[in-house]
Chains A and B, each alone.
Chain A
């Protein structure tokens, strides 16, 4: 199945069974569905703070800075900070057609954990984990950190055996969420 490369963002994507318009219509339906889950009052608007969540649940893998860039392209209605579907749709359709923010393969995540594991012993201590993830990169909030620890930390040794955690994450995702474009 031929696919566009990321650099040529204006070249359309074709697949064997769809015309372009069919593909776009499909994509737009998926975007609308995801959007409406967060549309509290069924009036085609969502809180701007939920946009990151919606983008990710459509299978995209942006970091926080990329989410902000995306938001800059979408018109946000003042003063409430609500995004209307009609403004979100074209931007998000483009993102999905161009296959931007693709998920990272699992082994790359494994390498990331290994990079934090200074002694290469197969696990990371709670202290190191907290230090790295709340101080570096795009730091976790306290809540995010606590939640990750709740899932990933082995309570007896207070360490994270990253090979196990990674498996848990990946398995959960593919089992319940094949919502791929």
Chain B
């Protein structure tokens, strides 16, 4: 593999020799280039892998939360206990059904200083254009109009069946869009490329309009406005994120509370209703089924069409009938088996007992079938399932809800209902779409740059009257100069690694114990294999640890890993003297869960809960998780946070103290 100048036969001319050199040089350069491109592709892939694993692990945490709610219901019958709030539907103030447009007009004043759009009902295209224009300029729609819009939307949605039937007979093409997740730029780009909704330009939006992105509210406003203007031409399906408990975790609730400081409670309350009235699916020409997640081997479209969809405000809490709860008081301890995920007994464990669809069912699952439970499972399956290439229907272990369904399940459903295609969303796809099950199943994902700038394209489907799909891809770009591939991958990679490091930090004590078990001589170093094994078993993320090692931990010249080095440049947000390290770490790891729980406890949305409520909840939560925390340690900590000494704490402030900060980043910004 040495030099370019090879030995030549004496009959070759100089020109021949030269051109041979050039060819060899070209091959070499091409080889080298493809080598670097391959490595770049590997980095891109594992970065996306990191994002996706963490996202799914997060969704599993959400499942644990529901499990916790069930646990609380099982364990707390004391009337004064905190869990009381779970026994009644925790709707703080149900917005009166009779509250109409005029009521909002009377009750909420719009000041003259407001220069945003002023909507007048019934809405017209002018109103829609005004909204688009305002949102492009980052204006907010006034709370009064939001409430009016939502109340009108609810009124219109109520008239619709669970499954909408469309026909392509008179229109040109129907456009189907997937997850938007609060990315307003993507929606605007779609409208720019494909035109605004109208009688001649019909749209189906397949769920997950909210959470994660920062313009979930604006997306809803636009979609609902067009729904009111063109109720026969713009159709919405419910996604798994159109769920108030998901919104507590994934950012939508926070967005609303920040944008609408005076009216967010009302808005969220009304939204909870509106979401539950969103149709579950759309069928085009009786041949193309469009729904958010997927199907299972028990999916029953007739049953789905007949149930009362608005009863299920959130899928995070399986329904409990009165009878079941009475039975529960006899069987005190639910039969939880420790999950195989527990690495070390003395640190936090997770327990779960799974039904066939994955989500925890109330312990009385061997009781006669409960119709409410069947309804819940049917909807859960269509909103949470993912297609896979293996046959069969198995619980969706990545997400903890719904199932994985194979080509045989699809084929059977198609045969039963005489269908030709299934269009679904719910899963991130680097190209914005993917075709599976031999062309029968299409995944459409419309949020470009979902994980990070440059991570993926978005796409939408154009379905013509022959029901042949055509795909249009796009990618929103903030930068006027197109970043080259190397820069894009660099951005994605550092963002992914940052998330991963946070997760590592949140599991510091578990990891330290796991490492120590391999470090027999107490040298502080272990082999790469042992390090990788420890990381995998504690974090439960299937990632290429050996490949990532160089980014996460230092290695000495002997080829051994200095395992504590992975914690070096990370620390807690605010150093809290009163918190012992173990306690602080637990709070850090479960920050999001606690935020959700506290939000639910805080019935009047004041942002405060009493010390008593806090302590009780904390005790229940840690006992459910099997964490051993000293009783008085949390009390001391809480007292130190109660600055006013008035018996209440601002839990957002409290939790804010336990987020992970990257030291290097902090240095850069300070």
Contacts and interface: CB of A to CB of B under 8 A. Distances in A.
B25 A113 contact: yes
Contact of A56 (B27, B38, B43): B38
Interface in A151-181: 151, 169, 172-173, 176-179
Given A29-B529, A148-B33, A173-B39, A108 B26 contact: no
B472 interface: no
B505 to A, nearest CB: 22
A34 interface: yes
Contacts of B3: 108, 111
A116 interface: yes
Interface in B30-56: 30-39, 41-43, 45-46, 49
Contacts of A151: 484-486
B544 A56 contact: no
A57 B212 CA distance: 33
Nearest to A26: B529
A103 B34 CA distance: 12
A33 B546 contact: yes
Interface in B535-563: 542, 544-547, 550-551, 559
Interface in B1-40: 1-4, 21-39
Nearest to A65: B27
Contact of B542 (A42, A56, A64): A42
Nearest to A132: B26
Interface in B603-658: none
Contacts of A176: 43, 550-551
A71 B36 CA distance: 20
B547 A115 contact: no
B580 interface: no
Interface centre among B41, B485, B532 (most CB of A within 10 A): B41
Contacts of B390: 41, 43
B388 interface: yes
A26 B81 CA distance: 55
A178 B550 contact: yes
A43 B388 CA distance: 10
B25 A30 contact: no
A116 B389 CA distance: 48
A53 B389 CA distance: 23
Contacts of B545: 33
A132 B49 contact: no
Given A36-B542, A148-B33, A179 B25 contact: no
Contact of A116 (B26, B37, B38, B546): B26
Nearest to A33: B544
Contacts of B24: 112, 115, 137
Interface string A129-158: 000110011111000100110110000000
Interface centre among A34, A37, A38, A136 (most CB of B within 10 A): A37
Contacts of A42: 542
A14 interface: no
Contacts of B25: 111-113, 115-116, 132
B103 to A, nearest CB: 52
Contacts of A17: 559
A63 interface: yes
Interface in A74-123: 102-104, 108-109, 111-113, 115-116
A88 to B, nearest CB: 15
Given A112-B4, A137-B26, A137-B27, A37 B546 contact: no
A3 B424 CA distance: 54
Given A33-B544, A52-B34, A104 B1 contact: yes
Contacts of A62: 31
A57 B546 CA distance: 13
B32 A116 contact: no
A179 B484 contact: no
A177 to B, nearest CB: 5
Contacts of B23: 136-137
B384 to A, nearest CB: 17
B523 to A, nearest CB: 16
Contact of A138 (B27, B38, B485): B27
B2 to A, nearest CB: 7
A1 to B, nearest CB: 12
B38 A136 contact: no
Nearest to A103: B35
B49 A37 contact: yes
Interface in B166-185: none
Contacts of B39: 56-57, 173, 177
Contact of B484 (A33, A41, A137, A150): A150
Contacts of B485: 147, 150-151
A115 B28 CA distance: 11
A46 B216 CA distance: 36
Nearest to B27: A137
A123 to B, nearest CB: 14
Contact of A53 (B38, B46, B482, B550): B38
Nearest to A116: B25
B546 A179 contact: yes
9 contacts: A34-B544, A37-B544, A42-B542, A52-B38, A63-B31, A63-B34, A108-B1, A169-B36, A176-B550
Q: Which 10 A-B pairs have the closest CB atoms?
A: A56-B38, A137-B26, A115-B25, A57-B42, A137-B27, A112-B25, A33-B544, A112-B28, A136-B26, A150-B484
